[in-house]
Each structure stands twice: as structure tokens, then as C-alpha cells.
Structure 1
């Protein structure tokens, strides 16, 4: 997929410790036909003086998913939870009332975190240029 200059994208790192995470970034340039330079929104160089930039392979860059309004999740729903400045893939394990937060078991390491619905979204996969829900249904947008 070709991206435009300054387009907001998500980065799906393939390195240990980052698997299952999506970092928000802005596309700065294409490098050849299979690489991009991006600037992260919430990753900083040492000391926090400036935002980190990185050259990435095309398979680590995807468009930002469409916004799907959802604040009510069920146990076992596959979701992305916004934790430590990134979206992490996981599954809802329980709902905590009355404070209305959810426990999410993250796929990367099985760590369980408590997340309010405002920091959650339905997980979508980017496959062959289209958004796909976890149950293999194609999302029309």
C-alpha cells in the first residue's frame, strides 16, 4: 500500500518485546518501494528531547484503523488496549463494576491490565488492503 506524506499510520514492530503492539506515527517519506521513514507520536529519543524517527519495512506499517464506537465489551472479545503509549492486542477476561473498567490479558506475555473502555478498541487486522474483524468478517468502510 502506498502512503502519503504526513499520513498518520500505525507501526507493528516485529521485534521481541514489541510483538502485538501498534504505535501511532506519521509518515515522513518513502525509501525505495518497500521502506518508509516514520516519526512516532509517543516514542522519544533518550532524554525526551525529540520524537523518535525510524526507517521501517513496509510490512511493519499499516494505515490507522477506522474508528468503531464501542464502549461495551464482553469476556473473550479480542481488543486493543492503549497501555504505555501503544495499542496492545489482548482479550477481555472480565468486567469490573461499578468502576466500569475491563481486565485485558495481553497477547504479548499474558500480562493482565485494567483498562477503561475509553482506552480500548475492537481489534482489526489489516489483510490484503482491507480491514478484517477477528472472526474473519470483512469490514466495509
Structure 2
């Protein structure tokens, strides 16, 4: 399949590499095709050049920031734990279905800011990735096959500095994967917020996070978004906060382990073992132990004794030993959820 050509007038989706917009995609059109330096002039459909006028915003973006309009089924019933894009504030944001509501709506959970909102089915689409300017993963299912399990082989070789994967590779099983970018959902839609009274889920977490509990802690600091670090609860503090001590992060003088106060939204239990894994498979979503934390990535190449892991947030690939990887799980609604497998 030939690479997609972004000619003048082509309808596309554009990502914005700015704080508060990372991970979202906005519809637009190519005004000038890519130049030799990889820049593309685009015009947004919904974003304006100025809040006080109606002129569409135009700007130059890198070629890697645009993609074709994703395919979309004419109608679809979404399932629990399914990864989707939700239309919000003029863009599409990645999330996961956490509840199927009786009124035909769905609750969608956004991992980066741990917020949850309700959406109509018309404001959702199955999440897909545009891989190497060649194909969508997962591919669009034929209308006649919507009720059947995807049976076609997904072969999406990921080229990288460690070598080029062959298109003839046929892994024994496949993973429909989503790597959630470290974006922040813009405000403006009603979300589930903690209240003064404790609900059942909060009470459950409060019991889990008691002194001496082993947990994992996330950080909102630049460069650490999406990573989880092992820690121990030292003290429960008022206002849903905890004093924790990291197990591997040490102070600058290297005399003791770092302690800090964090709120319960940045704490989760340690993931349970996912069973004995003799060998990770191509395209499996994993956590990789790097710089004392666990970072979500995707197996992009299987070597004889090591694995290449691709990290979407930084567009990097690194090599890891088997013992430094684990199957990725998410803590959603008080339970552990693994990526859907086909």
C-alpha cells in the first residue's frame, strides 16, 4: 500500500504540540503540501485565528502532526473497556469506555487527568492509529462483519533504528493496542469530581491506601507524565492526601529515599501479576522499567533475547530485557483492566 499523499485540499486531522492539547486531533485541510523540510500549511475547520472573528486558523505544522481522516463505521455499539476517541471542545480525545449507560450514552475515562465524562454514541468513534503513513490499526471492519471477531491478520511493521521489521512477519497472536498520550482534557464538560462525602469507590481506595501499603505513584511534572513509580504509604493525611516514600528515587545527596505528599488521584495499588509470560509478542502493550519507573509502550520488534519497545509520547524506541517488562494494565473504577486482545 502506497503512503498517503497530503496534497492541497486533502482533508486531514491535525495534532497540536502544546500544553493542554497533546493527544487531541482536530479536523482541517491541507493548504500547501509538505515542503522539503517536512512542513505543511493547514487550515483548521473548527479552530479560529482569533476569538473575536470567524477566520479559520492557519499554521505550519510538521508532517508527523497530520494524518488522514480516520475511517468510521456508520453505526456502532461500543463495549465496556473499549478504547475510543471522544469528540470534545472541537477535537477528538483518547479514552476508554468505563460504563454503558441505559440512556444510550457511555461513560469515558481519560487516563492522563483521571476524569470521566458521559458521551452520546454519535460523539464517539473507535480509536485507531495511523501507522507509518500506510494503514490504520485496527482496520475498518466491513459492515457485514461487525458482529464477528476480527479474523484478518494485522501486520504493521514498525521501522526503527534497531532495524526494519519485515512485512512477512506473522506473530502468533495480535494485540489491538492503544497508547494513551499524556494529554489533558480541556475543561468545559461536566466531569465526575470528588465530593465532600465518600462514595463506595473512594471508601474502597481509602482502605487500600493505608500506612505501609505498597503502591505506585504518578507525576504530572514535565517529562514524567504517564510513568508510575513504586512507593510505600507512610502516613494518611487529611484532604485525600498521603505521605509516600519512593522505593527507588533518592534525594540529591543520595542519603535517603524521596518522600512527598500526593493526592489519591496519583496513587494506585501495585498491578497484580499477569501470569507467567514466557515470551512477549509483537504489538503487545507493555510497561517497561526505565529510569526507576514503569512507562507504557508497545513491543515493536522481538529479538532473540531482548525486545524493542516503542514509546508514542516521545516517539522513541529502546531495547529491554524480558525481566524489565510486564503486560500493561490500567486501574479503572477500582479494578485492573488489560488491553483488548484479538
State TM-score, norm by structure 1.
0.89
Instruction: Say whether the 8 Å CA contact 1:7–1:26 is kept in structure 2.
Output: yes
Distance in 1, matches of 2:315 and 2:236, equals 35
Distance in 2, matches of 1:96 and 1:46, equals 36
Distance in 1, matches of 2:216 and 2:253, equals 23
Task: Please name the residue that 1:78 is paired with.
Answer: 285
> Shift in Å at residue 105 of structure 1?
1.1
Task: Please name the residue that 2:253 is paired with.
Answer: 47
> Shift in Å at residue 34 of structure 1?
1.4
Distance in 2, matches of 1:88 and 1:119, equals 11
Task: Please name the residue that 2:340 is paired with.
Answer: 135
Distance in 1, matches of 2:298 and 2:321, equals 14
Task: Please name the residue that 2:190 is paired with.
Answer: none
Task: Please name the residue that 2:326 is paired with.
Answer: 121
Higher alpha-carbon deviation: 48-57 or 108-117:
108-117
Residues 53-112 of structure 1 deviation map (CA, whole Å, 9 limit, x = unaligned):
010011100000001221311221110011121111101100112xx1000012431221
Structure 2 stretches of 5 or more lacking a match?
Answer: 1-204
Choose the corresponding residue for 1:92, options 299, 303, 311: 299
Structure 1 stretches of 5 or more lacking a match?
Answer: 137-141
> Shift in Å at residue 14 of structure 1?
2.1
Secondary structure of the residue that 1:118 maps to in structure 2? helix
Root mean square deviation, CA, Å: 1.4
Task: Please name the residue that 1:105 is paired with.
Answer: 310
Secondary structure of the residue that 1:46 maps to in structure 2? coil
Secondary structure of the residue that 1:47 maps to in structure 2? coil
Secondary structure of the residue that 1:70 maps to in structure 2? coil
Whether 2:300 is the aligned partner of 1:56: answer no
Distance in 1, matches of 2:254 and 2:299, equals 33
Choose the corresponding residue for 2:232, options 19, 22, 26: 26
Distance in 2, matches of 1:101 and 1:55, equals 37
Distance in 1, matches of 2:222 and 2:340, equals 26
Distance in 2, matches of 1:60 and 1:26, equals 13
Runs of 4+ residues over 6 Å off in structure 1: none
Instruction: Say whether the 8 Å CA contact 1:101–1:117 is kept in structure 2.
Output: yes
Instruction: Say whether the 8 Å CA contact 1:11–1:22 is kept in structure 2.
Output: yes
The structure whose RCO (Cα within 8 Å, separation 6+) is larger is 1
Q: Which structure is larger by alpha-carbon Rg, 1 or 2?
A: 2
Whether 2:236 is the aligned partner of 1:12: answer no
Higher alpha-carbon deviation: 111-120 or 124-133:
111-120
